Amino acid sequence: MYNEENCRFLKTHEWAYKEGDTAVVGISNHAQEEISDIVFVDLPKVGRTVKVGENCCVIESVKSASEIYAPVSGEIVAVNDALTGDPALVNREPHAGGWLFKIKMTNPAEFDALLDLAAYQATIQK
């Protein structure tokens, strides 16, 4: 489960937490507020291999498209199919039901290098 203490962040507003050797990925509450009114999530294909920092998903709101970057390298092993019928779930539950995808990590050290909550919050208060 999402837990602010265990969660790590990218300064581009993605969060990730570990479930064994996979990372569950979503966007922060701050990000969903900025994006607002999410109408479509273009999820990556299960089985795709991504590198850390790779653009692998697009969140469309009425007014803009936002690229989502992989916080870690690995293989996409699951995507949140609930978002196909209800993309606004990301707005309502950015930290829970609105998760985006899961990556089976090939280099767990990448996870440890991500921002912790305090460091992330410092970036959005600038």
Partner 1 sequence: MHTTCNLKTTALCEACRKAGGKMVDFHGWLLPVQFDGILAEHKAVRESAGMFDVSHMGQIFVEGLNAWPFLQQISCNNIKNGPAEGTYFHILTDEGTIIDDAIAFCLSPEKFLVVVNAACVDEDFAWLKKHASAFHVTVRNESAAWSMLAVQGPKAVQTLDQILPGVKDLPRFHISPLTMFGADGYVTRTGYTGEDGVEIMLPNAQITDLWNVLLQLGIKPCGLGARDVLRLEAGYLLNGEDANQTRTPYEANCGWVVKLSKENFIGKAALETKKQAGFENRLVGFVLKSPGVPRAGCKIFANGQEAGYVTSGTFSPLFKGIAVGYLNSKVPVGAEVEIEIHGRRLPAEVVKPPFYKNRV
* Rounded-to-integer distance, Cα 71 and Cα 43, Å: 15
* Dihedral Cα 48, 52, 58, 61, nearest 10 deg: 150
Nearer to partner 1, 2 or 40 (CB): 40
Which spans in the chain are helix H?
Answer: 29-35, 82-85, 89-92, 109-112, 117-124
Number of residues in contact with partner 1 under rule CB under 8 A: 12
- Other beta carbons within 10 angstroms of residue 78's beta carbon come to 16
Instruction: In the chain, count H helices and then E strands.
Output: 5, 9
Smallest distance from the beta carbon of 85 to partner 1, in angstroms? Answer: 10
- Asked whether 102 and 22 are in contact (CB, 8 A), the reply is yes
* Contact stretch for partner 1 (CB under 8 A) within 35-43, 71-79, 96-104, 107-115: 35-43
**Interaction with partner 1 in 52-81: which residues (CB under 8 A)?**
58, 60-63, 65
When asked if residue 30 is in the footprint of partner 1 (CB under 8 A), the reply is no
Q: Binding to partner 1 (CB under 8 A): which residues in 81-100?
A: 84
Member of 2, 18, 40, 117 binding partner 1 (CB under 8 A): 40
Please report whether residue 36 would count as binding partner 1 according to CB under 8 A. Answer: yes
Query: Which residues make up the interface to partner 1 (CB under 8 A)?
Result: 36-37, 39-40, 42, 58, 60-63, 65, 84
